[in-house]
Chains A and B, each alone.
Chain A
Amino acid sequence: MKPIFVLLFTMIFFSCDYDMDENIIFKDLPPKTLDAQIEILSVLTGNQPMNADNIIRSRATIEERRITVNYLSQVLKQLNLEPIKHQYKEPNTNPLIDILIGPYKGTNLFTILPSTNNSNEYVVLGAHYDTARNCPGANDNASSLSVLYGVTKRLSNVDLRNKNILVVFFDQEEENLVGSKAFVKYLLKHKYQVHSVHTLDQIGWDKDGDRAIELELPTPELKKLYKNQGAKLNIPIHTTNVNSTDHHSFRQKGFTAVGITEEYVNGDTTPFKDSKDDTMDTIDFEYIDSTTNLIFEVINDIVKSNKHDLGQTK
């Protein structure tokens, strides 16, 4: 029996997960929102060091993703928001693969910008932070992370918010949307009342300079909101039926969700997706700025309103 106990103890010891804080170099972000967005994108794509020892060239391995989460936590703290880590394990898509390899492991990072009147309703804004291997991921998806930073910063300065805003950075979108699926389970388990979910993916390419965005599978109400604000800001809004990114995880479980992206279907989209050439110099920061304005106006419109009528609400 003794060897079996030794074996069991060894296995339990090695199966423990350790969460050590990385030594993050973090200087204050510039006060101007666009400058801060450029700096965040620069750090996330390896143009500036994120970690004391290394420049992170991609956000693919467990180690790179853990360092990224710690960096993004610091970014949220700069906005006086509390970063919350949602760690998860998920089974593989096929039980046969379960026998061969371990489960998916990852961390979603989120924060809550509280409403100004104690509402229990949430508007979810999300974007994934992971990349394909050996890919700097400037467009996919550091561009969306910097847009989310800008939107969150501006929303935190708004005097009236009738709804809470939950900002979430998903892990493992590149692997069957595992991170957002785990986060949906988290929301359902903790009985969050979600008004609507807005996820961003690839929002840094605008070769034709028209500042247009595509809305993926919006409800008629969400489409109207975006179209109204788009008309005010002179931003063309197209709608598509693409469901291959994080908003799909929410819609599957009955949430009101929409995806926001550059003109992916119309063809004005980065040719460098998932490659080592998805670098910062391919990003159009005027486009980042205009999309930040649009999403801020839409979300501000939603949180100012007392309405709860956006279709199916969880």
Chain B
Amino acid sequence: MIWAKQNSKILIYQIILFGSLLLFLLKAIQYAFLGSYSTLLTSIIIIAIFYLIRKKKNRLNSSIKIWAILIIAWSLIRIFFGILIHFVEPLTENHLQENLGFLGMCISIFFLFGGFFLLNKKNRNNWLRQRV
């Protein structure tokens, strides 16, 4: 029972880690099709770093930690602006509202939890023990 629970947590950890990287890559590809390549470049660099250090436990540990902090920062910035455009009149740009409205806020909160889940030392060590 405990083994099954731990295994499912490892699976969730894997989904959140790979899912967040994959979503970032998809966003980057979308922007590349629109002629903006800097996001693609950033995502390739991040994925390359993960690939190159995939078998080095300590470095992988630090990289996941940094990635988790970046996800948390990303979510917090979105939540901050989402709240700001709700209350501050001059910042009511439609495009921001469309991205950071109810659905956008749900996505930000989901990623915030995901980031904290990745950052959790116990979860990270369990996954690393099984992975590397």
User: Contact residues of A with B, CB < 8 Å?
Assistant: 3-4, 7-8, 11, 15, 60-62, 89-92, 95, 98-105, 130, 132-134, 172, 174-175, 178
Contact of B34 among A11, A60, A91, A174 (CB under 8 A): A91
- The distance from the CB of B46 to the nearest CB of chain A, in whole angstroms, is 11
Q: Quick check: is B116 within 8 A (CB to CB) of the other chain? A: no
- Interface centre among A99, A100, A132, A134, by most chain B C-beta atoms within 10 angstroms, is A99
Please determine whether B31 and A98 come into contact, CB atoms closer than 8 angstroms: yes
Contact of A101 among B22, B23, B99 (CB under 8 A): B99
Q: Quick check: is B100 within 8 A (CB to CB) of the other chain? A: yes
Complex-state Cα separation, A164 to B33, whole angstroms: 32
Given known A-B contacts A3-B15, A99-B74, A60 and B94 have beta carbons under 8 A apart: yes
Assign chain B's interface to a size class: 20 to 34
Complex-state Cα separation, A204 to B95, whole angstroms: 27
* Residues from chain A with Cβ under 8 Å of B99 in the complex: 101-102
Complex-state Cα separation, A133 to B30, whole angstroms: 27
Q: Quick check: is B61 within 8 A (CB to CB) of the other chain? A: no
Please determine whether B98 and A61 come into contact, CB atoms closer than 8 angstroms: yes
Given A98-B36, A100-B77, A103-B31, 12 more contacts at CB 8 Å?
A: A4-B18, A7-B18, A60-B94, A61-B97, A89-B30, A91-B31, A98-B31, A99-B42, A101-B95, A101-B104, A102-B98, A175-B93
Given known A-B contacts A98-B39, A100-B74, A11 and B26 have beta carbons under 8 A apart: yes
Pick 16 A–B contacts, CB within 8 A, sort by A: A4-B18, A7-B15, A7-B22, A89-B34, A91-B31, A91-B34, A92-B36, A95-B38, A98-B38, A101-B96, A101-B99, A102-B98, A105-B98, A133-B92, A133-B97, A178-B95
Please determine whether A11 and B23 come into contact, CB atoms closer than 8 angstroms: yes
- The distance from the CB of A179 to the nearest CB of chain B, in whole angstroms, is 11
Complex-state Cα separation, A172 to B81, whole angstroms: 21
User: Contact residues of B with A, CB < 8 Å?
Assistant: 11, 14-15, 18-19, 22-23, 26-27, 30-31, 34-36, 38-39, 42, 74, 77-78, 81, 92-100, 104
* Residues from chain A with Cβ under 8 Å of B104 in the complex: 101
What are the 4 A-B residue pairs with the smallest beta carbon separation, nearest first?
A91-B36, A95-B38, A101-B99, A133-B92
Please determine whether B42 and A90 come into contact, CB atoms closer than 8 angstroms: no
Given known A-B contacts A7-B19, A8-B22, A174 and B94 have beta carbons under 8 A apart: yes
Given known A-B contacts A11-B26, A133-B97, A103 and B34 have beta carbons under 8 A apart: yes
- The distance from the CB of A69 to the nearest CB of chain B, in whole angstroms, is 15
* Residues from chain A with Cβ under 8 Å of B92 in the complex: 132-134
Complex-state Cα separation, A178 to B18, whole angstroms: 34
Complex-state Cα separation, A3 to B97, whole angstroms: 32
